[in-house]
Amino acid sequence: MGKTRGVPKNSTGFESMLRGAALRVTRPRVSVLAAVYDHPHADTDSIVGVVRADLGDVSRQAIYDVLRALTTAGLVRRIQPAGSVARYESRVGDNHHHVVCRSCGDIADADCAIGETPCLIASHDHGYAIDEAEVIYWGLCPRCSTASSSSASSSRGNP
């Protein structure tokens, strides 16, 4: 498995992360970091809800700005599978991919089969210095797969 960051157990860990990235420690930044760590692959609306529950009235724009700063600093990763809104995760700095449910949109991490960055070699790099490959696997999550099987059985008249 690649390099991952441990989940800080309290705000002191998040404050250290912010300082280590040369970012000023603010309550919104700490709260957003905590939300991303506590809710992997959360979309912006979900993060807004968690941060507002924690801090009270924080503007949506302030949260967008914090997410942008954290992403730029490499403390969180922004992913956006086709047809999906942007989502954020705390697993950064390693070479992992994602599996996405076509039905409910659930997202899970999928480690690279090779483990090295990048795990795919382009047939022609066009002179680029490639340092990352992004793969998204699509399918049905176990819950939707079971529901789909049950629905198909019901429609055929099977008990």
Mean pLDDT value across residues 86-91: 96
Q: Which of 54-68, 75-89, 129-143 has the lowest mean pLDDT?
A: 129-143
Q: Which of 74, 58, 73 is nearest to 23 (CA)?
A: 73
Q: Summarize pLDDT for 113-156 with one digit per residue, the tens.
A: 776 666 777 888 899 888 777 889 899 999 998 887 776 655 55
| Range(s) within the chain of domains with CATH label 1.10.10.10 | 11-79
pTM of the model: 0.80
Q: Which of 67, 11, 2 is nearest to 34 (CA)?
A: 11
Q: Summarize pLDDT for 20-50 with one digit per residue, the tens.
A: 999 999 999 999 999 999 999 999 999 999 9
Do 78 and 86 form a contact (C-beta atoms < 8 A)?
Answer: yes
Angle between helix 60-72 and helix 44-55 axes, rounded to 10 deg: 110
Count CB-CB contacts under 10 A for residue 108.
12
| Range(s) within the chain of domains with CATH label 3.30.1490.190 | 95-145
Q: Which CATH class is domain 95-145?
A: alpha beta
Q: Summarize pLDDT for 93-125 with one digit per residue, the tens.
A: 887 889 999 999 899 999 887 766 667 778 888
Q: Can you name the residues that pair with 79 across neighbouring β-strands?
A: 87
Q: Which CATH class is domain 11-79?
A: mainly alpha
